[in-house]
């Protein structure tokens, strides 16, 4: 195998927010197929790509010392159950038919690849990736 079958990335955003991305196609018995976690002060957002759901996991308001914290989980958003690539293709074809702008444009796709390439480079050099200076989100076509 030339590259990974499983990836794990923890990202610290400006302002100290943390995000976690885990994906695998090669691990047996995993429940994570592909997911994104955003850890917030009030809980954690989990985008479960396989289930097509966005969850909010939060602790209950009160906690008794010595007892397990009660957890509240709510579904904030639910997409039709389908493989993400199926949904992407349907959206792409709808955009061709209607002239609508796609959710993912060429610039954001290239920016995503730049992040991935920097993560690979950092891994090869045995260091943490520094995504500052990549100019993400700053390109404005005239």
Q: What's the whole-number average pLDDT of the chain?
A: 80
The number of distinct structural domains making up the chain is 1
Name the residue with higher pLDDT: 94 or 13.
94
pLDDT tens digits for 38-90?
Answer: 877 778 888 887 778 889 998 766 667 777 777 888 999 887 766 667 878 88
Is 61 within the bounds of a domain?
yes
Total count of residues recorded for the chain: 142
131: nearest Cα among 103, 112, 107: 112
Is 109 within the bounds of a domain?
no
Residue 5 predicted with pLDDT over 90: no
Is 111 within the bounds of a domain?
no
Could you tell me the CA-to-CA distances from 50 to 35, 84, 96, 116, 120 in Å, in that order?
A: 8, 8, 26, 21, 25
> Token match 């991935």: residue?
116
Is 16 within the bounds of a domain?
yes
Name the residue with higher pLDDT: 132 or 68.
132
At residue 30, the pLDDT reads 60
Residue 2 predicted with pLDDT over 70: no
């Amino acid at each position: 195998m030339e590259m990974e079958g499983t990836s794990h990335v923890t990202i610290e955003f400006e302002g100290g927010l943390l995000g976690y991305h885990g994906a695998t196609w090669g691990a047996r018995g995993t429940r994570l197929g592909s997911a994104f976690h955003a850890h917030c002060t009030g809980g954690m957002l989990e985008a479960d790509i396989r289930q097509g759901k966005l969850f909010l996991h939060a602790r209950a308001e009160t906690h008794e010392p010595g007892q397990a914290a009660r957890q509240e989980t709510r579904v904030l958003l639910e997409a039709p159950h389908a493989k993400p690539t199926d949904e992407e293709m349907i959206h792409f074809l709808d955009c061709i038919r209607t002239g609508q702008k796609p959710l993912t444009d060429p610039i954001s796709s290239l920016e995503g690849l730049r992040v991935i390439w920097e993560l690979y480079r950092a891994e090869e050099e045995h260091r943490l990736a520094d995504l500052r200076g990549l100019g993400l989100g700053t390109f404005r076509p005239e």
